[in-house]
Structure 1
């Protein structure tokens, strides 16, 4: 027990070191060095696999091969939590808990190394860069890290759940994430002579209202859909009507069909409003990560193991946030799960403060999961 307590203290210390020195997507150079050194202390070799940042380690040997993934990047947020390990990098913060994820999977790797001779296959440990800008998973795939992998597993901490709780879903879980930009080009002029202009502000106001009809009058009420305009920029002073207005926003859905339907209807609305007001409008949609679709078999399997590990199982709703782990699940079966972190403030908030008590139990859970998945897959081999 004393050794386990020391190990938990070590994991928490590593988490705090990561938290104090956060790095943005694709710039996780020091984070990568730290993780490599800590793995090496326990006799675990790791390699870059050609990635600029991030690293991959393997424990065990032979087939089957499964993967555990943790993300390692931080966010451009000014931390507002006063603690001994507050971010030393001004304007950068682990406000999503990737430091928690990394220390957890690091702990799992070390515990698995202690039982390496008993493993019926290989566990590939992936410390993935650049989740926050949705490019890291694709970099990992392009590097061939998932070649030969039979199943992949990952998790996210959930602030609204208490420590000791666990949840996942079969099928759709996290959302398709799309970003759109709209530029409305009008004709500026004197605010006291609006009839001589083509006012892009009035057109923008109508557009904001019209876009809300997509969720209320176009998409089936039984399908999940959010369309939010999050930025409007136009004008420079009080007595001049501007030449143009720029709007930006996001679309969140869970099915390919609804994703396509929303994009098509948004385009119709933009062009219709532009025609009505005699302005021109340009719409660009940037498709982010696809919806995260858990393999039902592994969702059920992971929940069974969580029960055995003593977790309280929660029935979770569909999430409308994005997660690039979805890219892995388009190529390899697996599951993404949620583990409670009990923070008064949510993800991406400057006062987000997860409970470190989740780290060791979650590491032990992933050890148990990896062992049982390998055993199961070994039994299925001819």
Structure 2
């Protein structure tokens, strides 16, 4: 009888999670705009008797489950924002907001986190300590985690788990590794100033375009000649803009791009070298340049002990363990890790189109198993 009751509860929760997932997918909201999403999360948690921390957050919230056994305060991060992408997934519950979609799986993250909260609440007599589930806004802005870390809401948290949808692996798989799993993601913006002139008389001006071209070429030498060949690093110039007609040498040119590094020292090195190359190259071409560096999220680094615990828990939950690939993509989960140990894992959501693509989709069959796995991370690893 007890087994049948548990099975019935599981089926009911699975149905609730699917319905919630469909709602979140239909109603995507961009970074810092997640008002309806936040209210839907609040409504779901309240219906299940789960506490919500008082805060001044405009979007996002933190659920809290107090175990009835003594123990540490631990946390789970679930990001909640969507992307400005027109959906082409073909699912019957597609986005109802043109030009916006959950193309990164954050709707899955929300729903699995809600399921985890419900399961922890149901099993709080056996739960050691307190679990805070962070429904975080604006991960896609690369700075949303700071909205949480700038408060005192999680100052008492001793360790934190994070997870992400993985469309490169089927349902039933979990990717885990220790060490670096995502890169620091920084942005640079360069304005080169020369002297405009007629295109037929370049000798009367200072052309900023050759200076810009030389910078693009020289930047790659930081990767090939300044950094350790065994350190993953990347520089991408993603925008070049200069001039507006065919017969005029423009006065200015702009370059914009991103730097991705894993190692802290490399991050410092790349900012310094790009600034030096920018200033010296501009000078060599008779121009001047303004270099701006916008630091993004640091690298995500998995705590070895937590990675080992995540793997053992996955095996007990009958998941297949696959190597979690390191990515030059970034995630602001790293801001939490700057203050406490953390572990960021990938949950297989069905092989398909990559994240941030219009055809990306998550197999809803993973919702309940993912919630059960996340719950087990806290129940089995005190």
Q: TM-score range by the shorter chain?
A: over 0.9
Partner of 1:173, secondary structure, is strand
**2:357 is the counterpart of 1:349:** yes
| Secondary structure of 2:241's aligned partner | strand
Q: Which moved more, 1:218-227 or 1:131-140?
A: 131-140
Unmatched tracts of structure 2, length 5 or more: 1-6
Cα deviation code 1:116-174 (max 9, x no counterpart) = 12212211111111111122211212221212222211101121122211122222221
SS at match of 2:139: coil
Matches within 5 A, 1:281-296: 281-296=289-304
Report the CA distance between 1:45 and its aligned residue. 2.5
**Post-superposition CA distance 1:283-336 (Å, at most 9, x none):** 111110111122111111111111111111112232111111111111122211
Distance in 2 separating the partners of 1:341 and 1:11: 15
Choose which of 25, 32, 40 in structure 2 pairs with 1:26: 32
- CA contact under 8 A between 1:55 and 1:128: conserved in structure 2? yes
Aligned-partner Cα distance in 2 for 1:240–1:355: 54
1:34 Cα offset (Å): 0.2
1:210 aligns with 2:215: no
TM-score (norm 1): 0.94
Distance in 2 (alpha carbons) for counterparts of 1:344 and 1:192:
53
Q: Tell me, in whole angstroms, the C-alpha distance in 2 between the residues paired with 1:334 and 1:251.
A: 24
Task: Tell me what 2:342 maps to.
Answer: 334
* CA distance in 2 between partners of 1:215 and 1:357 (Å): 42
Residue range with higher mean Cα deviation, 298-307 or 158-167: 158-167
Say whether 1:180 aligns with 2:201: no
Deviates more, 1:30-39 or 1:356-365: 356-365
Mean Cα deviation higher: 168-177 or 248-257: 168-177
1:111 aligns with 2:88: no
Tell me the residue number matched to 1:302.
310
Which residue is equivalent to 1:86? 94
Q: Find out whether 1:133 has 2:141 as its counterpart.
A: yes
Segments of 5+ residues of structure 1 without an aligned counterpart are: 375-382
- Which residue of 2 is the match for residue 120 of structure 1? 128
| Alignment partners' CA distance in 2, 1:290 and 1:308 | 32
More off after superposition, 38-47 vs 323-332: 38-47
Runs of 4 or more above 3 Å deviation? none
3-state SS, counterpart of residue 132 of structure 1: helix
For residues 345 and 281 of structure 1, what CA distance do their matches in structure 2 show? 40
Q: CA deviation at 1:343?
A: 4.2
Structure 2 counterpart SS, 1:63: strand
Equivalent residue number for residue 358 of structure 1: 366
Residue pair 2:53, 2:64 contacting (<8 A) in 1 also? no
Offset of 1:339 from its aligned partner? 1.0
**Residue 47 of structure 1 aligns with which residue?**
53
Q: Which residue of 1 aligns with 2:23?
A: 17
The separation in 2 between residues aligned to 1:240 and 1:44, in whole angstroms, is: 65
Query: 3-state SS of the aligned residue for 1:350?
Result: coil
Which of 227, 230, 233 aligns to 2:241? It is: 233
Q: 1:163 to 1:34 in 2, by over 3 A?
A: same
Where 1:182 maps in the other structure, the secondary structure is strand
Matched, 1:198 2:210: no
Query: 2: CA distance between counterparts of 1:225 and 1:120?
Result: 41
Kept in 2, the 8 Å contact 1:60–1:116? The answer is yes
Correspondence for 2:84? 76
Q: Is residue 282 of structure 2 the alignment partner of residue 274 of structure 1?
A: yes
- What SS does the aligned partner of 1:306 have? helix
Give the Å deviation of 1:48: 4.4
CA distance in 1, matches of 2:217, 2:158: 47
Distance 1:242 1:191 in 2: 9
User: Which residue matches 2:320?
Assistant: 312
Counterpart in 2 of 1:165?
Answer: 173
> Residues of 1 paired with 2:186 and 2:126: CA distance?
44
Change (3 A) 1:49 1:373: farther
